[in-house]
């Protein structure tokens, strides 16, 4: 039964990693609620995650909205295209594409940077230095990033929603020649508070996932520059996969039985 051995290894490894990650996440969350709070660090991370991600998330959103309008036009042209396109754009952007694409872009930008920064701190003993200066690294490094991620992602996604819908509007009214006022009216009619809110909840969860993965892989990295490189890659890959998994789970929770 030797062939079972490698399989068992993989399973055990996976379970061990999942356990470590869960403990790490719990420790990080607990530190978010325990004083002292490092306001300076939280603000710095909020600027890093929220403000500096705006260009990349905005560009993603506007092209997504534009291409949605264009694609659905070819499908719906024969029917009452105007209302249908507005509907597709607003639902797809607010429910799905806004949070998921913003999450993936932020994973690539912020998750990687966090893993690299914290990983470098780990291998150059800066994290050890923190503990000798009576500073809990979980509280000083991890908690502010988690807080900033959960707080800023919904704001980013709200902006992405607006820009995405705007992109659809631009294509619909300037390229496809619809009446702008009618298109906006249909957009408004089809916009559901529930869609937007569910998208924002997803965004908060994705913000947690991205920052957690960045922190975890950076924090546990070892072995010099090579280890930091691996941590960066792992942070982006695992965050992206988890975003897609949780996107499904959350969608199921929100819209099951409808």
Partner 1 sequence: MSTPAPAAAGAKIRIRGLKKAFGRKVVLDGIDLDVGVGESLVVIGGSGTGKSVLIKCVLGILQPDAGSIQVDGEEAAGIDAAGRERINRKFGMLFQGSALFDSLPVWENVAFGLLAQKKVTRVRGREVAEAKLAQVGLGPEVGQLSPSELSGGMQKRVALARAIAADPEIIFFDEPTTGLDPIMADVINDLIVKITREVGATALSITHDMASARKIAHRIAMLHGGRIVWSGPPAAVDASGNPFVDQFVHGRAEGPIKMAVRA
Which of 24/76 has CB closer to partner 1? Answer: 24
- DSSP sequence for the chain: -TTHHHHHHHHHHHHHHHHHHHHHHHHHHHHHTSSPP-HHHHHHHHIIIIITTHHHHHHHHHHHHHHHHHHHHHHHTTS-HHHHHHHHHHHIIIIIIHHHHHHHHHIIIIIHHHHHHHHHHHHTTHHHHHHHTT--HIIIIIHHHHHHHHHHHHHHHHHHHHHHHHHHHHIIIIIS---HHHHHHHHHHH--HHHHHHHHHHHHHHHHHHHHHHHHHHHT--SHHHHHHHHHHHHHHHHHHHHHHHHHHHHHHHHTT-
Candidates 13, 128, 189, 194: give the one binding partner 1 (CB under 8 A).
Answer: 128
Piece of 129-137, 157-165, 188-196, 212-220 that binds partner 1 (CB under 8 A) = 129-137
Candidates 2, 78, 132, 181: give the one binding partner 1 (CB under 8 A).
Answer: 132
Site string for partner 1, 82-121 (x = CB under 8 A): -----------------------------------x--xx
Piece of 95-103, 134-142, 162-170, 223-231 that binds partner 1 (CB under 8 A) = 134-142
Which of 95/122 has CB closer to partner 1? Answer: 122
Candidates 2, 3, 36, 80: give the one binding partner 1 (CB under 8 A).
Answer: 36
Site string for partner 1, 1-20 (x = CB under 8 A): --------------------
- List contacts with partner 1 (CB under 8 A): 36, 117, 120-121, 124-126, 128-129, 131-136, 140
């Amino acid at each position: 039964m030797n062939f079972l051995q490698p399989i068992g290894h993989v399973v055990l490894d996976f379970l061990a990693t999942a356990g470590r990650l869960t403990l790490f996440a719990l420790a990080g969350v607990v530190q978010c609620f325990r004083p002292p709070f490092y306001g300076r660090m939280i603000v710095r991370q909020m600027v890093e995650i929220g403000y500096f991600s705006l260009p990349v998330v905005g560009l993603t959103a506007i092209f997504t909205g534009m291409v949605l309008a264009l694609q659905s036009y070819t499908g719906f042209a024969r029917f009452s295209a105007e209302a249908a396109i507005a509907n597709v754009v607003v639902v797809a952007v607010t429910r799905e594409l806004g949070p998921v694409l913003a999450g993936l872009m932020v994973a690539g930008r912020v998750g990687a940077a966090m893993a690299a920064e914290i990983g470098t701190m780990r291998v150059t003993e800066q994290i050890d230095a923190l503990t000798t200066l009576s500073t809990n690294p979980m509280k000083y490094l991890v908690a502010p990033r988690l807080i900033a991620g959960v707080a800023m992602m919904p704001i980013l996604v709200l902006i992405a929603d607006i820009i995405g819908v705007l992109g659809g509007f631009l294509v619909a009214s300037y390229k496809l020649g619809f009446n702008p006022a009618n298109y906006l009216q249909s957009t408004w009619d089809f916009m559901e508070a529930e869609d937007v809110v569910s998208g924002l909840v997803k965004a908060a969860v994705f913000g947690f996932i991205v920052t957690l993965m960045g922190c975890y892989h950076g924090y546990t990295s070892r072995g010099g520059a090579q280890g930091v490189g691996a941590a960066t890659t792992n942070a982006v890959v695992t965050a992206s996969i988890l975003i897609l998994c949780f996107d499904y789970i959350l969608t199921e929770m929100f819209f099951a039985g409808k």
